[in-house]
Amino acid sequence: MASGTRKMCVIFGLIILGHAAYSAAQHRTYLRLTEQEFNRLPVDIFLQSIFGLLLTCYGVVNVAGDFKEIRAASDFEKKTWDTVSSRPSFQSFCHRGRFLFSQAR
C-alpha cells in the first residue's frame, strides 16, 4: 500500500469521526426537542465512530514509518562511550576566552 493511500486512510478516518460526532450532536438535539431521555447512541453512530477510529489508527500507524526498538542498548552496541557522550553542537570555539587570556598589550 502506498504512502498516499495511508494518508488518505487518516483523512477519511478523521472525516468519518467528525461526521459521527456531528451525528451524535444532532441526535442529542433531536432528543431534547422531542423531550425524550438519552439512553445511548444509536447503533449506526456507534459503529461509524468505531470504524472511523480504527481507520484513523491504521493510517497513523502506517504513515509513521518503521518503529525503533525501545531498548537503548540496540542503538548503542556499536558505539564507544566517547562517541555516545560527544555533543559537537555544544562546543563553541568563538568565545571571549581569547580576549581574557591573551597577553596584555
Residue 3 cell numbers, joined: 504512502
Mean pLDDT of 7-25: 95
Query: Average pLDDT over the chain, rounded to whole?
Result: 84
Tell me the pLDDT tens digit for each residue of 25-40.
999 999 999 989 988 8
Please give the pLDDT value at position 25.
94
- Reference 56, options 18, 2, 1, 22; nearest CA is 18
pLDDT value at residue 15: 97
Tell me the pTM: 0.61
Q: What is the pLDDT of residues 79-92, one digit of tens each?
A: 777 777 777 777 77
